[in-house]
């Protein structure tokens, strides 16, 4: 079982460690500043949210070095310019120089915010992420995307700035609320669909073991292996296509075009990201079936895993019955922006094929609007 990874994302090295327990602050500091004496001198800013504060304090301990802890409000609403400014100001107050260290301790929101702030503070400072959600571990903490939401659009502004060091401490997961488990599990299933039948079988085993609870050692080992495979897959893809300019990284958006539309149409935060992605994957299967890209048995297998994991896969979605609102949200999605404005012709879908998945542009689909309408309404 691989628990340590060394990636290079567009010239940025990124070291990822999967652990049972939390790292200590000393371990983090010495990884960044191995020279004796230096670690004592350099100020550090740790960022967490109101739900990860106790975890952050566990990691930071009572160290009397110059470590400042900034606690932000938890939740997607915090992914704003204001939060980035708060982090930057805290960094100045803490006395961080260009080689100062930012440590983000939390889920994807804390990671995206801390990463964004670190990437622009003095044109780029040092960054460590300690991921505390399943979604963070299998997705958000890896691969360098940082960002904030703006004008009601998710991740509208951001940078590419991979963390030099990423810890994935499984101990963090056992305080995670159910909704957040489900959110991360959807991304895990997504990665397994993209990667291989072997990984998908492992996810099925995990779902089966989960029925007996998440405390058994066999469940935890299986989860660790799933996380490890996820990290390996995403790392490989981002190394091959760091800025999403090629054909590889877009595949990670499987379920996202439909999922983001659902998330936005329901109102940001009403449906969790993962639940929306799970629903989106079911729609992608339906689209793939209709286009003859997804073999029927593959579509059934994916949908069965989603249903067994407790996801809503039906259409219309019980929380968003208006197909128009979904279509509108889909067209406004910033991923559709290509400098030429919005339009259904620019929509892209990732559709499972026999082995992995492939990109389909709405403009390639005959009678695209009508077909999409059907997929979204379930008619
Ligand atoms: N950068 C990327 O590549 C990337 C990829 C996917 C998603 N994202 C972003 O990640 C965000 C979603 O990530 P998320 O689901 O981790 O959200 P999150 O950071 O908001 O965490 C979810 C909730 O769990 C709480 N929490 C975190 N760790 C906990 C723990 N160990 N115990 C108890 N509660 C805990 C948080 O306070 C929050 O309330 C979105 O903003 C999304 O855009 C980024």
Residue 293 has pLDDT above 80, yes or no: yes
- In 3-state terms, what secondary structure has residue 299? helix
> Rg (Cα) of the chain, in Å, rounded?
21
Of the pLDDT bands very low, low, confident and very high (cuts 50, 70, 90), residue 141 is very high
What is the pTM assigned to this prediction? 0.94
Distance CA 176, CA 51 (A): 10
List, by residue number, the catalytic residues: 123, 145, 187, 234, 244, 249, 253, 256, 260, 273
* Angle ∠(40,126,27) on CA atoms, nearest 5: 50
Q: Find out whether 8 and 2 touch, Cβ atoms under 8 Å.
A: no
Return the residue whose CA atom lies nearest to atom 26 of ligand 1. Answer: 51
Structure tokens at 5: 């990874």
149 lines ligand 1 (CB under 6 A): no
Distance CA 374, CA 379 (A): 5
107 lines ligand 1 (CB under 6 A): yes
Q: Find out whether 198 and 174 touch, Cβ atoms under 8 Å.
A: no
Of the pLDDT bands very low, low, confident and very high (cuts 50, 70, 90), residue 354 is very high
Q: State the average pLDDT for the chain.
A: 91
Q: Find out whether 348 and 362 touch, Cβ atoms under 8 Å.
A: yes
Structure confidence at residue 341 (pLDDT): 47
Residue 336 has pLDDT above 80, yes or no: no
Residue 114 has pLDDT above 50, yes or no: yes
Question: 53 or 331, which is more confident?
Answer: 53
Q: Find out whether 254 and 284 touch, Cβ atoms under 8 Å.
A: yes
264 lines ligand 1 (CB under 6 A): no
Point out which residues pair with 357 in neighbouring strands.
352
Residue 335 has pLDDT above 60, yes or no: no
Ligand 1 centre to CA of 63 (Å) is 27
Which H helix or E strand runs over 119? helix 108-120
Distance CA 53, CA 27 (A): 19
H helices of the chain, in order, are 25-32, 38-41, 53-60, 81-94, 108-120, 134-135, 178-195, 197-210, 217-240, 256-266, 273-291, 296-308, 323-332, 368-377
Residue 340 has pLDDT above 50, yes or no: no
Residue 29 has pLDDT above 50, yes or no: yes
């Amino acid at each position: 079982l691989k628990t340590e990874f060394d990636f290079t994302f567009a010239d940025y090295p990124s070291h990822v460690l999967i652990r049972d327990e939390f790292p200590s602050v000393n371990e983090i500091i010495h990884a960044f500043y191995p020279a004796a004496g230096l670690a004592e001198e350099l100020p550090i800013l740790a960022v967490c949210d109101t739900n990860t504060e106790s975890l952050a304090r566990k990691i930071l301990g009572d160290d009397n070095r110059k470590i400042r802890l900034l606690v932000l409000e938890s939740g997607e609403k915090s992914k704003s310019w204001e939060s980035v400014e708060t982090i930057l100001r805290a960094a100045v107050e803490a006395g961080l120089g260009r080689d100062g260290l930012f440590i983000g301790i939390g889920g994807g929101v804390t990671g995206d915010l801390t990463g964004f702030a670190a990437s622009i503070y003095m044109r780029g400072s040092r960054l460590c992420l300690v991921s505390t959600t399943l979604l963070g571990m299998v997705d958000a903490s890896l691969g360098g995307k940082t960002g904030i939401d703006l004008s009601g659009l998710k991740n509208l502004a951001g940078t590419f700035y991979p963390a030099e060091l990423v810890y994935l401490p499984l101990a963090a997961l056992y305080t995670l609320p159910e909704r957040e488990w489900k959110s991360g599990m959807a991304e895990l299933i997504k990665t397994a669909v993209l990667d291989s039948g072997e990984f998908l079988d492992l996810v099925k085993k995990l779902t089966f073991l989960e029925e007996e609870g998440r405390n058994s050692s066999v469940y935890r080992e299986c989860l660790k292996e799933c996380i490890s495979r996820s990290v390996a897959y995403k790392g490989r893809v981002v190394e091959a296509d760091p800025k999403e300019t090629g054909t590889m990284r877009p595949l990670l958006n499987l379920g996202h075009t439909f999922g983001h539309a659902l998330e936005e149409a329901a109102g940001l935060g009403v449906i969790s990201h993962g639940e929306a992605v799970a629903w989106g994957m079911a729609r992608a299967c339906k689209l793939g079936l209709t286009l003859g890209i997804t073999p029927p048995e593959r579509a059934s297998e994916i949908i069965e895993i989603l249903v067994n994991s407790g996801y809503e896969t039906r259409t219309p979605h019980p929380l968003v019955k208006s197909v128009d609102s979904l279509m509108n949200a889909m067209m406004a999605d910033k991923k559709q922006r290509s400098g030429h404005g919005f339009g259904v012709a620019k929509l892209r879908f990732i559709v499972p094929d026999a082995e992995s998945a492939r990109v389909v542009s709405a403009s390639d689909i005959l009678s695209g609007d009508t077909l999409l309408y059907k997929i979204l309404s379930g008619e």
